[in-house]
Structure formats: structure tokens, C-alpha cells
Amino acid sequence: MKTILIAGSSRGIGKAVASLASNSGYQVILHGKTESDELKKTASELPSSFTISCDVANKEAVIIEVNKVIEKFGKIDALVNCAGIVRPKPFLECEDQDLLQDKPY
């Protein structure tokens, strides 16, 4: 079974992507900024799901949570990011400080 991590999947587009991935046979890793009731509800609705929580702006916390997934499932086959904020800069040109700023663009 392939494993997919969907950042920002407790509601909205991320939740819809998680449902589609689950229906397509993926082991779904749900992510929320916190372990909210919405995240828990989404997890209860999807078979073969696992949850992690962290602020995607906190690089160290993300590393810890991703390592939990790797430890449990051995790998992550796919990643969908539905969390965070938009920056008007090509992703491959971004530095850490571009992704971690907490101000509107």
C-alpha cells in the first residue's frame, strides 16, 4: 500500500484530497496544525488513516512529525500540501525565511 501525506487535511480541499486518496487505496497520513476535533473527525471517517499535528512554519516540528510517519510506515510515497500561506515566488526559489514569514504577501 502506498503512503500519502496530506498537509492541511482536517477540512476543505485537504480533506477532499484525503478522501479521494483513501478511496484510491492509499494509506493516508492526515495533518493538522493542531490535534483538532476536525482532524479527529476526518480520521474517524477514513479507513487506514494516521494523524500528525504541527505548525508547518516550524521546521523542527515538521521534521519530528515526518520522522514519526517514516518510523511507522517506512516511507512517504506522495505529498500534497494544502496547508500554509501563499508567497508570490516560485517554490524552487524559496529559502526557509520565505516560507516561514508570518505576514501577508
Provide CB contacts within 8 A for 17, sequence distance 6+.
Answer: 6, 9, 80, 82
Give the residue from 20, 13, 12, 59 showing the smallest Cα distance to 4. 20
Domain residue limits, the chain = 3-100
Q: What is the pLDDT of residues 5-46, one digit of tens each?
A: 999 998 899 999 999 999 999 999 999 999 999 999 999 999
How many Å from the N-terminal Cα to the C-terminal Cα in the chain? 39
Q: What dotted CATH number matches 3-100?
A: 3.40.50.720
Q: What is the pLDDT of residues 71-100, one digit of tens each?
A: 999 999 999 999 866 667 787 887 777 766
CA dihedral for 52, 47, 76, 6, sign (positive or negative): negative
User: Whole-model pTM?
Assistant: 0.79
Distance of CA 82 to the CA centre of its chain: 7
